[in-house]
Chain A
Amino acid sequence: EDQVTQSPEALRLQEGESSSLNCSYTVSGLRGLFWYRQDPGKGPEFLFTLYSAGEEKEKERLKATLTKKESFLHITAPKPEDSATYLCAVQTQGAQKLVFGQGTRLTINP
């Protein structure tokens, strides 16, 4: 059974304090790994798709990386507006749907 586990469940940082969020996955064959951001009371917003081990993508203060077993979302010098829940999802070969992790709730204090 395909599984996605995100850690930590919650993370509190000071503004400017860099850190990483983890997404570990167990799938039969990875087609793609997706990162989303979700603000309270809103729907998830797409950030990145990674397809193969070694791939990296960046957007402002965020960088996503992928290995054969996990993905990291690195946040550099975060600001309070980066506070949100970050969701990871995987799609396996031949599947038509995503399997989501439970998310990491990130809080950046000014």
Chain B
Amino acid sequence: NAGVTQTPKFRVLKTGQSMTLLCAQDMNHEYMYWYRQDPGMGLRLIHYSVGEGTTAKGEVPDGYNVSRLKKQNFLLGLESAAPSQTSVYFCASSFYSYNEQFFGPGTRLTVL
């Protein structure tokens, strides 16, 4: 099992560009999450999904959109990137909300 994988690992964008981060899990988990991690801020939840076709806002959703068309994939989109979105992005998944979350290796995004 690959667990949780994220694509790409690194990306540099210019302000105003768009991109999509892909998260995939092969554990048949219902729940999937997108976090961002910034120095001194800890992990903050952007959006999450409680099952295929569902999405919900987390703590810091502004400037991001998500989609979960297939159970195993969770996409995070930035329509118009801003320097404030420079961060490390982590995807995670779990069977149910009260189970431990399994994290991917992260995507380091820099917006110039």
Contacts and interface: CB of A to CB of B under 8 A. Distances in A.
A25 interface: no
B100 interface: yes
A89 B92 CA distance: 14
Interface residues on B, range: 20 to 34
Contacts of B33: 97
A102 B39 CA distance: 9
Contacts of B98: 31-32, 91
A17 interface: no
A100 B106 CA distance: 17
B43 interface: yes
A97 B45 CA distance: 8
Interface of A: 31-32, 34, 36, 41-46, 49, 87, 89, 91, 95-98, 100-103
8 contacts: A45-B103, A87-B43, A95-B97, A96-B48, A96-B56, A96-B97, A100-B42, A102-B40
